[in-house]
Amino acid sequence: METILDFFSFNNVNVIYVTIGSMLLTSSAAIVGTFTFLKRKALVGDAVSHSILPGICLAFMLSGDKNPLYLIIGAFITGWLSLIIIDLITSKSKIKEDSAIALILSVFFGIGILLLTIIQKSGNAEQTGLDHFLFGNAAALVGSDLVTFTIVALILLIVVYLFFKELTLLAFDEDFAKTIGMPIRLIELILTTLTVMAVVIGIQAVGIVLMAAMLITPVAAARFWTDKIKVLILLAAIFGAFSGLSGAFVSYAAPAMPTGPWIVVVISTIAFISFFFAPKKGIISRAIKQRNVVQQINDENILKSLYQLGEQDQEYYTNRTIEDIIQRRPFNTSVLKKGLKRLKKQGYMESKSGTWQFTKEGKNKGQRTVKLHRLWETYLTKYLRIAPDHVHDDADTIEHFLTPELESRLEQLLEYPELDPHDSKIPYQKNKIKNNSTQV
């Protein structure tokens, strides 16, 4: 607690630089990364982050100084050039985008390592610490670095704000953007430039190797929580800023711990939590929904089978054994017993001495399931001209997902088909029922 209070008191100027700088870098990268992610170009961040190393080395060799402005300019040029070359290779050859990215990434990074080795053997005392760009060294941020990063971050935010509609349309529907006359190449160029700038300003904190994670991971985590792009951008920025703050705190609490890798660890933890526990799209939530759907289908099949047994002897409330139900439809015994217990809890079934029978609500629900099955079969045979003996399996699936609105629409299309004389609520077509009595 004492360490936390000391950290947030901001008495140390260097702590302020590191914390604010890390938060600016990570949040601005996440905002730009949103459009890269939505455009399904996640690997672009890797290509840029590895391609800026030769630019940093060339800028240092030409200037002889580690001035952040010079290094950013050099990194920007080679990073931007790498994306242009990737686009040219993809458009002018048969090489696919992922192969082009892998090619450019490895070539540029190899050149960068070669230049870095030359610099390290040159004897220039200024080259000390240049290799920190590989893995980041946020603790080395000073006031001049913070000013430079703040200016670049503001430029990124302003450009995203001004071109928000165009970038959004490009990410979601590029073909439509072309048809309305939007300058696609210009917007892509703007997005490319923003991506390169976002990666470039983050390398000193997170490093070349890990910067791609900050471009994509916050957005990937946020995507599990929302479908609205404005909320997505806000969440990605918050996740990015929080990871920057957390990484700076870990470095402050344990000076031996590097800031950049811890930033990536924190945002990766947020991403994993989102992947598994997001309420609508998380893996656990989806697994629960899938289990519920399977149970719903199984329960409705049980009710349908019982109703069809009732149709045979016109006794809908007769006690039925498990063997009777299985004879009508081949259920797994264990699954059937669990389904019957669920239906009893829901008020659709009653049990007595090992036998089961409908309640009024259960009979009505089973009746509706049979009705939807027959409506869909009739629709397939009448409108899609599918042979009557080929429609049962499809109807057996779709009957569980037809809404009341679709049910009403089907009845209108089929002109309210003749009803079963034994039950005035079940659609009935004499020829169809006679020919396929074993299926309906």
Q: Quick one: which of 248, 227, 189 has its CA closest to 17?
A: 248
* Domains of the chain from N-terminus onward: 2-280 (1.10.3470.10), 282-440 (1.10.10.10)
**111 Cβ neighbours under 8 A, 6+ residues apart:** 53, 54
Q: Which long-range contacts (CB under 8 A, 24 or more apart) does 157-166 make?
A: 157/28, 157/31, 159/190, 159/194, 160/31, 160/32, 160/35, 160/194, 163/187, 163/190, 166/190
Distance CA(216)–CA(167), nearest Å, equals 16
**402 Cβ neighbours under 8 A, 6+ residues apart:** 372, 375, 376, 410
3-state SS, 169-231, equals HHHHCHHHHHHCCCCHHHHHHHHHHHHHHHHHHHHHHHCCCCHHHHHHHHHHHHHCCCCCHHH
Per-residue pLDDT of the chain (440 residues; tens, 9 = 90+): 666 666 566 666 667 777 887 888 888 888 988 998 888 877 777 788 788 888 888 888 888 777 777 887 888 888 888 888 888 888 888 888 888 888 888 898 899 888 888 887 876 666 666 666 666 666 666 666 677 778 888 888 899 999 999 999 988 888 888 888 888 888 888 888 888 888 877 776 677 767 778 888 999 999 999 989 999 999 999 999 998 888 888 877 877 777 778 888 899 999 999 999 998 889 999 999 999 999 999 999 999 999 989 888 888 888 899 998 998 888 999 999 999 999 999 999 999 888 999 999 999 999 999 999 988 988 888 888 888 888 888 888 898 888 889 888 988 888 877 645 444 444 544 444 333 333 33
Distance CA(271)–CA(236), nearest Å, equals 10
DSSP notation for 30-47? HHHHHHHHHTT-THHHHH
Distance CA(303)–CA(252), nearest Å, equals 64
**241 Cβ neighbours under 8 A, 6+ residues apart:** 23, 26, 27
Asked if 135 and 204 touch (Cβ cutoff 8 Å), the reply is: no
Distance CA(259)–CA(390), nearest Å, equals 63
pTM for this predicted structure: 0.75
The residue behind tokens 């609520």 is: 425
